[in-house]
């Protein structure tokens, strides 16, 4: 494992060491640290991050907080959104916002275990499993914010990515694969969109705008319609007027 990408500059410790009780003897302290040594190793192997953090916080010098990480010579700050290695399918790497950056020192080897607490976004592929009809209006570059958070190994962070509002995204001249947008939240328990009813609906099919699809505007009522919904081919689009069924 390579931790060289870690910036040594530590943040002011937010966590304050608990005052030792005056009765605790040297032996007791030794026993505690021996116990935490074993537990840290085992919890690390089992990837039980929350328990690991709890134990590390109990021993001075094992727990540290940071305000940024360095990935491939680039600094990623707290609060930035990042692509996280999902293991096998790279086109479906995870996306989350970094809420906390910490390191835990392995007491025997003094190696640093670096973790990030991330708040997850859901992708199109995940939400259409529960709502197949949303395939029509959800963009390939669209993300849904969730309230769900997890600790991940900092080394699984690939690079930072940009998340725009829907309007900003539509106004962009060029769209790179690392550019996403967010306009709705996703309730992970209920498997539902949040705020969907507030979105403006377009076309005769009454769906929220999908920036991936092509639209034509009626020259009378100025409403926007999907090309497919009005039986238009893209090559038919020219300067001639278009009138929707209602206005014809
Ligand atoms: Zn339509
Ligand atoms: Zn019209």
Cα-to-centroid distance, 172 and ligand 1 (Å): 23
Write the pLDDT tens digit of every residue in 62-76.
899 999 999 989 999
Cα 187 to Cα 64, 97, 131, 148, 219: the distances in Å are 32, 17, 13, 9, 39
> From CA 73, how far away is CA 94, in angstroms rounded?
21
Measured from the alpha carbon of residue 228, the closest ligand is: 1
Label residue 35 by pLDDT band (50, 70, 90). low
Can you give the length of the chain in residues?
248
- Asked if residues 52 and 104 have their Cβ atoms less than 8 Å apart, the reply is yes
Cα-to-centroid distance, 227 and ligand 1 (Å): 8
Cα-to-centroid distance, 223 and ligand 2 (Å): 6
Measured from the alpha carbon of residue 230, the closest ligand is: 1
Residue ranges of the domains in the chain?
26-213
Cα-to-centroid distance, 168 and ligand 1 (Å): 22
Cα-to-centroid distance, 246 and ligand 2 (Å): 6
Is it the case that residue 16 has pLDDT exceeding 60?
no
Cα-to-centroid distance, 164 and ligand 1 (Å): 24
Top pLDDT among 89 and 30 is at 89
- Does CATH place domain 26-213 in 2.30.30.30? no
The reported pLDDT for the residue numbered 120 is 97
Is it the case that residue 152 has pLDDT exceeding 90?
yes
Is it the case that residue 21 has pLDDT exceeding 50?
no
Element at 105 (helix H, strand E):
strand 94-105
Top pLDDT among 12 and 230 is at 230
């Amino acid at each position: 494992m390579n931790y060289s990408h870690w910036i040594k500059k530590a943040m002011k410790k937010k966590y304050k060491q608990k005052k030792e009780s005056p009765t605790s003897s040297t032996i007791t302290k030794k026993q505690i640290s021996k116990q935490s040594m074993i537990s840290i190793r085992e919890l690390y192997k089992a990837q039980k991050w929350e328990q690991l953090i709890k134990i590390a916080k109990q021993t001075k010098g094992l727990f540290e907080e940071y305000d940024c990480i360095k990935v491939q010579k680039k600094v990623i700050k707290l609060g930035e959104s990042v692509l996280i290695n999902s293991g096998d399918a790279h086109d479906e790497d995870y996306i989350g916002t970094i809420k906390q950056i910490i390191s835990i020192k392995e007491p025997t080897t003094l190696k640093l275990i670096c973790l990030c607490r991330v708040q997850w976004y859901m992708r199109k592929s995940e939400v259409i499993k529960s709502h197949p009809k949303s395939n029509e209006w959800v963009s390939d570059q669209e993300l849904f914010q969730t309230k769900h958070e997890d600790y991940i190994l900092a080394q699984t962070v690939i690079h930072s990515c940009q998340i725009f509002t829907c309007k900003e995204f539509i106004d962009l001249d060029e769209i790179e694969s690392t550019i996403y947008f967010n306009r709705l939240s996703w309730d992970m328990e209920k498997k539902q969109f949040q705020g969907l009813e507030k979105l403006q609906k377009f076309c005769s099919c009454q769906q929220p705008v999908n920036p991936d699809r092509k639209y034509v505007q009626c020259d009378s009522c100025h409403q926007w319609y999907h090309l497919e919904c009005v039986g238009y081919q893209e090559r038919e689009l020219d300067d001639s007027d278009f009138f929707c069924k209602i206005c014809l």
